[in-house]
C-alpha cells in the first residue's frame, strides 16, 4: 500500500509538471504560423501539421491510424466524447486527461512486464497533439516520461491516438485489439515488434489478472479474422508506386504494416 | 514569443556543433582515402550521354557533358565517403536509401528489358480489358418530366405502346431535355455523366431497334431507341503496342522485384527466433516476400 | 559545372509584345458574325456536322500531390499517378489510410504542384545523398535521427517559408534532381492521358507570394512530353525565378517561342491577395498598370479560378451590398499566411466581379481589358485527391482528411493579429466545367482559350449561357436550345459588339441540375457596366427560377425554402426545379456603354460538409459552424463592347 501511495504522489507531481509542459506545447500548436515576409508559405503550416506530416514519411503510413480511428469512431467502437468539443479547450483539460491516460498506460505496461529486461525502449506518439511519451527502464522499473521531443534511435515506435490510449487506460480496449483495428501501429525491427506484442497484447483487458498470466499468442491471422472488413480494406491495392516517383523511402525493414501497400 | 524561438535557436546551436564535428571528421577521411581514385570511364560517358539525349532530344554540348561528369564524380565520391564513414550501418534512412537504390536497379532492369513480339502479344491476349475500345451507342430518347406530369412513368409507358409499332415514328412529343433528344457515339462514361450511372448501365445493355423503357434517370423517365451500337472491341495490337509495352514492363517490374527479394532471402537466409515467428503468425517469413 | 541549361532570363528579354497583342485580340472567341456563317453552312439535319459541344466536361485544374513541398510536409503520400487514377474514378487509399473514390470520374485533371522546391521534400525524406551533403540539410537530418523530428519539420517549413532555403540544394531549374522530378510528373500525365475519355494535362503552379499576398498562377500546357519536356517549371525564388507576374508572362512567351507549343495561366485566390490580384496600381512599380501589362495579362490569363477550398471569390458583401448571395464561403480575414489583416479598401482588387468591372474601366483607358477572363473552379487540394463534393470531402491537406475533429482544428492563425480560420471554414469546392467538343488536351485547352467555361462549387450542373441580339421566347421553348444558342448568338466567354440600331442584348440561359444532385433555385444574370462618367455599376437580375414565386416589392425573389435535415445530413428535391430555361432581354441597356454579363446558377440548400461529418462520426459541433450551403455555378461573362 505504501508504495502505491508513493506512486500516486509522484504521479501527481509529475502531472503538474506535465500540465505546464503540455500547456506550452499546446500554446505552440495554436500559435500556428509565424508571419513570414517573403517566401512560399502556404499559410496553414503549423508546427503540429508539419510534425504530423513528417510522421507519415518517417514511419511510413503511420497516419493510417487517423483513418482507422475515424472509422472506429464512426462505427461506435471508440467513444465520441473525446472529440465532442464545442468550446475551446482553454485550460488544457483535454491534455491533462491524455497525459493521465499515458501515465496509466505506462503503469499497465509495467504491471504486464514479464521481467525487468523484457521491455525494450518504447516511444509512443499520440497523433492529434503530436505528443511523444517514452517508456524505458528506470532505476526502479519502467519509467514513463510524457512529453519528450521524439523517439530515440533504436526505440520501438508506437503510433496511436488520444482516444485509443484513453480507452486502453480505462481497460475498455486491449492493446492487441487496438493493433488489430489499426488504431495503433508499430515501427521497429521484427523481433522488437514481436516481443512487444507477445508481452503486452493483453494490456487493457478488463481482468487485470490476465496481464500477469499466460498470454495468448497474437497473430496476424487472428487480426484478419477478427475484423474482416478491416482486413479487406487494409489489403486493398493502394497503387502507390514509390519507385515511379523516385522519392519515397523503401521501408521493407521497419514497418510492421508493410504488407498493406503494394 | 521568445519561447517559440528558443527551440529553434537551441537546435541551431546543436546543429552547428554537429556540423563542426562532421566537417572535422570529413576532412580526416578525405586525407585517409585520397589514395583510391574514383574512376570515370568510357562506359560512364556513354551512359551519361544517353540519359541526356533521351531527356533533351539532342546530344549534350561539351560544356554540358563536363557538367554531367562533374555531377557524377560528386555523386560517386560522396557515396564512397558515406560508406567510409559507415553511415549506412546505423542509420535507418541511409539503410532505406540503399535498399531503395537496389530496388531502382531492379526496376530499371525491367524498364530496359526488351520483350519479344511474341511475349508482348501473349501479354496483350492475356489482359484484354486493358486494351479495348469501350462500346459506343447512338440513340434517341423521349423524356417525361415528373415536374410537368402527374405520373411521368405511366405517361411513358402509355406512349411506349403507341411508339413500338413503328420505330420510325417520332410523333410522340415528350418533354424537352437540355441535352437534346438524339445522341451519337456516346460511351457509358459520358452517358453516366449526363444521366446518372443507373441510366447509363441500363441503356448500354439495350438492343438496337425498337423503343424501350421507361428508363429512369436523374431527371425523370425516358423512352429510348438505340439506333446503333458498337460492342466493346479489343484495340488492334499494332495500335496499342506502346501501351502494351508499358503495361508489360510494369508487370515485369513487379514480378522481377518479387523474384529478386526471394532470391536475396535465399542468398542471405532469414532467421526469426521462435517468439518472433509466433508473434508474426504462421508463414510470416515467406509471405512478406510474396507481397 | 555548367549551370542552367535554359538561359530563360536572357531569352525573355528578347520578348516583344507585338505578337502578344495580335494574339490577345484573337483569343478565339465567337462573334455573332462567325456564328451567322455557321448557320448558313448547316445541312438539313440539325445534328449532322454539328460541331458545337454537346456536354460539358468536368475537371480540376489545380491539384497538388506529395511532390508539392507543403503537401508532402503535411503528410500527403499520393503522387501524380495516384492522383490521375483517382480522378479517373478508381478507388485509392488516401494518405491517412482511408479508401477514397469519386462519385463518378472526372473528365480531366491538371496536377499542378508548386514549382518551388518541387519534389525536394520527398527526396529529403528518402535520404538522397545529394541533399544530405549540405550542412543545413544534414543538421535537419541529424535532428530527425536524434529524436527531434517535430522540430526538424518545423525548422524546414519555416526556412522555406522565409526564402532562406540553402540555394545549392533547393529544387529549381538547373538542379538535375529537379529535372527528374519534372520528368516524372510529365510521364505520369502522359500515361494517364487517354484521348476521348480522360485528359491528363501537364502543368505546375507558380506560387508567387509577395509579403504573404497570394499571387499564385497555375500553368497548363496544351502540349505533351515532347514540348513540355524541353523546359523546366518557372519558379519564384530569385535569381532563377521571380515573384513578378510580368516575369511569368515572359517565361510563358519564351516557352511558346522555343517549343512552338501553347500554354496558359490561371490565377487563383485573389481573396487572399490583400488587394494585389487585380490591381489598378501595379504593386511592383507603384504606378498605374500600363498597356503592356494589360495586353500580357489578357493574353496569358484567359481564365480565373473563382472558387476553391480557400473560399469563394465571386463577390463580397462589402462590394455587393444588395446581393444576398454574395456572402458565400467568405475568407476575408487577411492574406494567405494571415500576416497582414484585410481592410475593406483591398476588396475591390481581389474579387471577380469588381475585377471585371475595373477591367471595363481600364479597357476604356488603355484600349485593352486586362481582366477579360472566363471562370473556372478547382480544388487546390493538397492530398492528391480531387474532391469537391460535400458528402465526399477529403479536405485541403492530408492531416485534414476525414476525422472526427478536423472541423475543430485551426486551419491557420495569427494570434498576434487575432486572426484565425477554422478547419470547418474550408470549402468543399470546386470544379471547372469546359464546353469542349472532345475530351482531348487540344479541345479542352482551346475551349479554355475561348473562355467557354464555367465554375461550379462541386455539383456537376449543366449550364448554358448565350448572348445575341435576336433571341426570343421560342428559342427557350425549342427542343434543342443549344442550336439556337450557337447559331443566333455567342456562348459564354464570347463578345457582342456594337448593337444594331434598336436592338438590345438578349440572353438564352439554361441550366440542368446535376443528375445525382440537388434541384435548382434560380438562374441569375449579373451585369456590370461603365457609365458615361467613367463609373462602374453592377446589378443582379433573377431570370429563371423554380415554382411560382413572385418577386417582392423590392424586386427580389423570395428564398426557395430549405429542406435540409442537418442532424441526418439529408435534403429532398421537393423544392426547386431540375431545369431552368429562359430568354432574358436587358431592360437597362445603353448601346454606348461597355458592359459584361455572366450567369449564376444557385442550387437549393443542401448540407455542407461539416453536417456530413457530424452525422457520420456522431459528433456535435459548435453553433457557429455553417451546416448548410447553396452550391452554385458561375459562367464566364459575355462582354458587350460598343464600336469606336
CA C517 vs CA A40, B214, B263, C602, C631: distances in Å = 37, 21, 54, 12, 10
CB of B217 less than 8 A from some CB of C: yes
The reported pLDDT for the residue numbered B170 is 60
Q: Which chains touch A (3 or more CB pairs under 8 A)?
A: B, C
Nearest CA-CA distance, residue B125 and chain A, Å: 23
Closest CA to C306 of C329, C274, C340: C329
Residue with C-alpha cell 491528363?
C200
Residue with C-alpha cell 535521427?
C145
Q: Give exposure, C104-141, as e/b (b: 16+ Cβ within 10 Å).
A: bbbbbbbbbbbbbbbbbbbbbbbbbbbbbbbbbbbbbb
Return all residues near A250 (Cβ < 8 A) that are at least 6 apart: A242, B96, B97, B99, B100, B103
| Contact: C96, A67; criterion CB under 8 Å | yes
Closest CA to C431 of C372, C388, C480: C388
Search chain C and give the residue with CA nearest A123: C147
| Contact: C516, B196; criterion CB under 8 Å | yes
Q: What is the β-pairing status of strands C374-377 and C303-308?
A: parallel
Could you say which of C94, C151, C622 has the minimum Cβ distance to residue A67?
A: C94
Residues of chain C with pLDDT under 70: 1-50
CB of A163 less than 8 A from some CB of B: no
Search chain A and give the residue with CA nearest B11: A149
Q: What span, in angstroms and rounded, lies between the C-alpha atoms of C431 and C307?
A: 8
Q: What span, in angstroms and rounded, lies between the C-alpha atoms of B237 and C505?
A: 54
- C-chain residues near B63 (CB < 8 A): 2
CB of B90 less than 8 A from some CB of C: no
| Contact: B291, A262; criterion CB under 8 Å | yes
Q: What span, in angstroms and rounded, lies between the C-alpha atoms of B177 and C515?
A: 12
Cβ atoms of C551 and C557 within 8 Å: the answer is yes
pLDDT of residue B41 exceeding 90, the answer is: no
CB of B101 less than 8 A from some CB of C: no
| Contact: B197, C104; criterion CB under 8 Å | yes
Q: What span, in angstroms and rounded, lies between the C-alpha atoms of C112 and C100?
A: 20
CA C632 vs CA A119, B143, C155, C451, C515: distances in Å = 58, 25, 41, 18, 15
Residues of chain A with pLDDT under 70: 1-46, 81-92, 116-119, 207-262
Closest CA to B139 of B233, B229, B213: B229
Cell of C424: 470547418
| Contact: A198, B99; criterion CB under 8 Å | no
Question: If DSSP states are collapsed to H, E and C, what string results for C18-70?
Answer: HHHHHHHHCCCCCCHHHHHHHHHCCCCCCCCCCCCCCCCEEEEEEECCCCCHH
Cell of C322: 444588395
CB of C336 less than 8 A from some CB of A: yes
User: Chains A, C: CB contacts under 8 A, how many?
Assistant: 282
Return all residues near A91 (Cβ < 8 A) that are at least 6 apart: none
- Find the mean pLDDT for residues B9-34: 42
Which among B93, B96, B197, B199 is the top mutation candidate for probing chain C, defined by the most C β-carbons within 10 Å of its own β-carbon?
B93
Please give the backbone phi and psi of residue C633, each rounded to the nearest 5 degrees, phi first: -130, 145
Positive or negative, the Cα torsion across C159, C161, C164, C166? positive
CB of A1 less than 8 A from some CB of B: no
Q: What span, in angstroms and rounded, lies between the C-alpha atoms of C200 and C194?
A: 8
Q: Which of residues 466-485 of C touch A (CB under 8 A)?
A: none
Q: Which chains touch C (3 or more CB pairs under 8 A)?
A: A, B
- B-chain residues near A215 (CB < 8 A): none
CB of A225 less than 8 A from some CB of B: no
Nearest CA-CA distance, residue B2 and chain C, Å: 14
CB of A231 less than 8 A from some CB of B: no
Search chain A and give the residue with CA nearest B104: A243
pLDDT in tens, B44-87: 788 778 777 766 667 888 877 887 777 777 667 666 666 666 65
Which among B280, B282, B288, B290 is the top mutation candidate for probing chain A, defined by the most A β-carbons within 10 Å of its own β-carbon?
B280
| Contact: C55, B190; criterion CB under 8 Å | yes
Length of chain C: 644
- B-chain residues near A198 (CB < 8 A): 275, 278-279
CA C144 vs CA A149, A171, C187: distances in Å = 10, 34, 32
Could you say which of C72, C95, C411 has the minimum Cβ distance to residue A44?
A: C411
A98-102, B35-39, B180-184, C127-131: range with lowest mean pLDDT: B35-39
The class (CATH top level) of A47-82+95-260 is alpha beta
Q: What is the β-pairing status of strands C520-530 and C536-545?
A: antiparallel
- B-chain residues near C480 (CB < 8 A): 180-181
- B-chain residues near A190 (CB < 8 A): 272, 276, 280
Search chain B and give the residue with CA nearest A257: B288
| Contact: B273, A191; criterion CB under 8 Å | yes
pLDDT in tens, A131-159: 999 999 888 788 999 999 889 888 999 99
- A-chain residues near B55 (CB < 8 A): none
CB of B286 less than 8 A from some CB of A: no
CB of A54 less than 8 A from some CB of C: yes
CB of A46 less than 8 A from some CB of B: no
Cα of C4 vs its chain's centroid, Å? 32
Instruction: Kindly list the domain boundaries of chain A, sorted by start residue.
Output: 47-82+95-260
Q: What span, in angstroms and rounded, lies between the C-alpha atoms of C272 and C311?
A: 9
| Contact: C401, A66; criterion CB under 8 Å | yes
Q: Which of residues 10-49 of C touch A (CB under 8 A)?
A: none
- B-chain residues near C129 (CB < 8 A): 75, 78-79, 82, 97
| Contact: C158, B8; criterion CB under 8 Å | yes
| Contact: B11, C55; criterion CB under 8 Å | no
Closest CA to C313 of C277, C264, C361: C277
Q: Give me chain B's average pLDDT, please.
A: 73
The reported pLDDT for the residue numbered A211 is 43
CB of B218 less than 8 A from some CB of C: yes
Q: Is A199 left (phi over 0), alpha (psi -120 to 50) or beta?
A: alpha
Q: Crossing angle, helix A64-74 and helix A162-169, to 10 degrees?
A: 60
Cβ atoms of C232 and C173 within 8 Å: the answer is yes
Nearest CA-CA distance, residue A114 and chain C, Å: 27
The reported pLDDT for the residue numbered B268 is 67
CA A11 vs CA A19, A23, A107, C506: distances in Å = 12, 18, 10, 78
Amino acid at each position: 500500500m505504501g508504495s502505491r501511495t508513493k506512486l500516486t504522489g509522484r504521479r501527481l507531481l509529475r502531472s503538474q509538471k506535465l500540465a505546464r509542459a503540455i500547456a506550452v506545447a499546446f500554446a505552440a500548436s495554436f500559435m500556428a504560423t509565424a508571419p513570414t515576409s517573403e517566401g512560399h508559405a502556404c499559410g496553414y503550416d503549423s508546427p503540429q501539421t508539419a510534425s504530423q506530416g513528417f510522421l507519415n514519411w518517417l514511419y511510413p503510413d503511420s497516419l493510417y491510424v487517423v483513418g482507422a480511428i475515424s472509422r472506429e469512431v464512426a462505427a461506435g467502437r471508440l467513444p465520441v466524447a473525446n472529440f465532442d468539443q464545442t468550446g475551446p479547450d482553454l485550460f488544457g483539460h483535454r491534455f491533462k486527461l491524455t497525459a493521465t491516460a499515458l501515465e496509466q498506460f505506462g503503469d499497465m505496461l509495467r504491471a504486464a512486464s514479464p521481467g525487468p529486461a523484457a521491455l525494450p525502449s518504447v516511444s509512443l506518439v499520440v497523433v492529434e497533439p503530436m505528443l511523444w511519451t517514452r517508456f524505458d527502464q528506470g532505476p526502479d522499473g519502467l519509467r514513463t516520461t510524457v512529453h519528450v521531443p521524439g523517439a530515440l534511435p533504436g526505440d520501438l515506435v508506437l503510433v496511436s491516438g488520444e482516444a485509443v490510449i484513453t480507452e486502453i487506460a480505462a481497460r475498455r480496449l486491449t492493446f492487441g485489439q487496438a493493433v488489430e483495428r489499426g488504431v495503433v501501429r508499430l515501427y521497429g525491427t521484427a523481433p522488437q515488434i514481436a516481443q512487444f506484442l507477445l508481452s503486452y497484447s493483453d494490456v487493457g483487458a478488463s481482468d487485470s489478472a490476465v496481464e500477469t498470466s499466460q498470454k495468448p499468442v497474437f497473430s496476424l491471422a487472428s487480426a484478419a479474422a477478427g475484423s474482416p472488413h478491416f482486413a479487406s480494406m487494409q489489403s486493398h491495392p493502394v497503387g502507390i508506386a514509390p519507385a515511379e516517383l523516385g522519392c519515397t523511402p523503401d521501408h521493407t525493414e521497419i514497418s510492421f504494416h508493410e504488407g498493406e501497400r503494394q | 514569443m521568445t519561447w517559440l524561438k528558443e527551440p529553434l535557436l537551441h537546435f541551431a546551436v546543436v546543429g552547428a556543433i554537429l556540423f563542426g564535428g562532421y566537417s572535422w571528421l570529413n576532412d580526416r577521411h578525405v586525407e585517409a582515402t585520397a589514395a583510391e581514385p574514383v574512376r570515370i570511364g568510357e562506359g560512364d560517358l556513354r551512359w551519361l550521354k544517353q540519359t541526356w539525349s533521351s531527356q533533351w532530344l539532342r546530344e549534350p554540348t561539351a560544356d554540358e557533358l563536363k557538367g554531367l561528369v562533374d555531377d557524377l564524380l560528386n555523386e560517386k565520391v560522396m557515396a564512397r565517403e558515406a560508406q567510409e564513414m559507415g553511415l549506412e550501418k546505423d542509420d535507418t534512412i541511409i539503410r532505406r536509401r540503399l535498399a531503395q537504390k537496389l530496388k531502382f536497379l531492379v526496376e530499371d532492369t525491367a524498364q530496359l528489358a526488351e520483350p519479344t513480339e511474341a511475349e508482348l502479344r501473349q501479354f496483350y491476349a492475356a489482359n484484354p480489358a486493358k486494351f479495348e475500345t469501350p462500346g459506343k451507342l447512338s440513340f434517341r430518347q423521349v423524356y417525361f418530366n415528373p415536374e410537368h406530369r402527374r405520373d411521368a412513368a405511366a405517361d411513358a409507358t402509355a406512349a411506349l405502346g403507341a411508339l413500338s409499332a413503328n420505330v420510325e415514328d417520332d410523333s410522340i412529343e415528350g418533354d424537352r431535355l437540355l441535352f437534346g433528344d438524339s445522341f451519337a457515339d456516346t460511351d457509358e462514361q459520358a452517358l453516366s455523366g449526363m444521366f446518372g450511372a443507373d441510366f447509363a448501365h441500363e441503356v448500354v445493355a439495350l438492343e438496337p431497334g425498337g423503343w424501350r423503357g421507361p428508363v429512369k434517370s436523374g431527371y425523370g423517365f425516358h423512352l429510348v431507341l438505340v439506333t446503333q451500337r458498337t460492342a466493346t472491341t479489343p484495340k488492334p495490337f499494332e495500335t496499342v503496342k506502346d501501351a502494351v509495352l508499358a503495361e508489360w514492363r510494369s508487370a515485369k517490374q513487379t514480378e522481377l522485384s518479387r523474384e529478386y527479394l526471394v532470391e536475396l532471402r535465399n542468398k542471405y537466409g532469414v532467421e526469426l527466433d521462435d517468439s518472433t515467428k509466433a508473434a508474426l503468425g504462421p508463414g510470416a517469413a515467406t509471405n512478406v516476400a510474396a507481397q | 559545372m555548367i549551370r542552367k541549361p535554359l538561359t530563360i532570363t536572357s531569352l525573355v528579354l528578347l520578348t516583344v509584345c507585338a505578337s502578344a497583342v495580335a494574339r490577345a485580340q484573337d483569343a478565339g472567341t465567337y462573334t455573332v458574325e462567325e456564328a451567322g456563317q455557321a448557320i448558313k453552312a448547316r445541312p438539313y439535319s440539325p445534328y449532322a456536322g454539328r460541331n458545337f459541344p454537346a456536354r460539358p466536361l468536368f475537371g480540376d485544374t489545380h491539384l497538388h500531390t506529395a511532390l508539392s513541398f507543403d503537401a508532402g510536409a503535411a503528410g500527403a503520400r499520393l503522387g501524380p499517378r495516384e492522383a490521375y487514377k483517382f480522378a479517373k474514378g478508381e478507388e485509392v487509399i488516401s494518405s491517412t489510410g482511408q479508401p477514397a473514390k469519386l462519385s463518378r470520374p472526372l473528365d480531366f485533371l491538371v496536377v499542378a504542384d508548386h514549382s518551388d522546391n518541387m519534389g525536394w521534400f520527398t527526396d529529403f525524406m528518402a535520404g538522397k545523398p545529394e541533399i544530405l551533403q549540405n550542412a543545413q540539410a544534414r543538421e535537419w537530418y541529424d535532428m530527425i535521427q536524434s529524436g527531434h523530428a517535430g522540430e526538424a519539420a518545423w525548422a524546414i517549413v519555416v526556412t522555406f517559408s522565409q526564402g532562406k532555403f540553402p540555394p545549392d540544394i533547393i529544387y529549381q531549374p538547373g538542379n538535375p534532381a529537379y529535372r527528374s522530378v519534372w520528368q516524372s510528373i510529365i510521364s505520369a500525365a502522359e500515361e494517364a492521358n487517354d484521348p476521348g475519355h480522360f485528359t491528363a494535362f501537364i502543368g505546375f503552379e507558380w506560387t508567387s507570394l509577395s509579403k504573404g499576398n497570394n499571387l499564385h498562377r497555375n500553368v497548363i500546357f496544351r502540349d505533351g512530353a515532347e514540348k513540355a519536356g524541353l523546359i523546366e517549371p518557372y519558379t519564384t525564388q530569385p535569381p532563377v525565378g521571380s515573384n513578378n507576374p510580368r516575369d511569368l508572362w515572359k517565361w510563358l512567351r519564351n516557352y511558346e517561342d522555343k517549343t512552338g507549343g501553347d500554354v496558359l495561366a490561371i490565377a487563383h485566390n485573389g481573396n487572399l491577395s490583400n488587394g494585389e490580384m487585380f490591381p489598378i496600381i501595379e504593386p511592383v512599380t507603384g504606378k498605374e498598370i500600363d498597356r503592356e501589362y494589360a495586353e500580357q495579362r489578357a493574353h496569358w490569363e484567359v481564365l480565373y479560378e473563382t472558387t476553391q477550398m480557400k473560399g469563394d471569390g465571386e463577390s463580397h458583401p462589402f462590394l455587393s451590398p444588395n446581393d444576398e448571395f454574395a456572402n458565400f464561403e467568405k475568407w476575408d480575414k487577411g492574406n494567405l499566411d494571415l500576416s497582414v489583416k484585410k481592410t475593406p479598401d483591398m476588396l475591390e482588387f481581389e474579387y471577380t466581379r469588381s475585377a471585371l468591372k475595373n477591367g471595363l474601366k481600364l479597357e476604356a483607358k488603355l484600349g485593352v481589358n486586362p481582366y477579360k477572363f472566363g471562370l473556372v473552379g478547382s480544388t487546390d487540394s493538397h492530398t492528391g485527391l480531387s474532391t469537391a463534393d460535400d458528402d465526399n470531402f477529403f479536405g485541403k491537406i492530408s492531416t485534414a482528411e476525414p476525422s472526427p475533429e478536423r472541423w475543430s482544428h485551426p486551419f491557420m492563425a495569427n494570434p498576434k493579429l487575432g486572426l484565425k480560420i477554422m478547419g470547418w471554414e474550408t470549402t468543399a469546392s470546386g470544379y471547372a466545367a469546359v464546353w469542349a467538343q472532345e475530351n482531348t488536351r487540344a479541345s479542352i485547352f482551346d475551349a479554355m482559350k475561348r473562355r467557354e467555361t464555367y465554375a461550379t462549387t462541386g455539383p456537376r450542373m449543366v449550364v448554358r449561357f448565350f448572348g445575341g441580339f435576336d433571341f426570343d421566347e421560342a428559342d427557350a421553348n425549342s427542343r434543342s436550345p443549344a442550336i439556337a444558342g450557337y447559331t443566333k448568338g455567342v456562348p459564354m466567354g464570347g463578345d457582342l459588339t456594337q448593337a444594331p440600331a434598336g436592338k438590345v442584348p438578349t440572353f438564352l440561359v439554361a441550366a440542368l441540375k446535376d443528375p445525382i444532385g440537388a434541384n435548382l433555385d434560380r438562374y441569375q444574370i449579373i451585369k456590370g457596366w461603365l457609365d458615361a462618367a467613367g463609373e462602374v455599376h453592377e446589378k443582379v437580375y433573377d431570370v429563371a427560377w423554380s415554382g411560382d414565386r413572385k418577386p417582392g416589392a423590392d424586386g427580389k425573389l423570395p428564398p426557395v425554402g430549405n429542406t435540409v435535415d442537418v442532424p441526418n445530413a439529408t435534403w429532398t428535391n421537393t423544392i426547386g426545379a431540375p431545369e431552368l430555361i429562359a430568354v432574358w432581354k436587358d431592360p437597362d441597356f445603353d448601346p454606348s456603354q461597355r458592359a459584361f454579363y455572366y450567369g449564376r446558377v444557385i442550387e437549393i440548400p443542401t448540407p455542407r460538409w461539416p453536417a456530413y461529418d457530424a452525422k457520420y462520426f456522431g459528433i456535435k459541433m459548435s453553433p457557429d459552424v455553417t451546416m448548410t450551403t447553396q452550391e452554385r455555378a458561375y459562367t464566364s461573362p459575355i462582354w458587350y463592347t460598343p464600336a469606336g
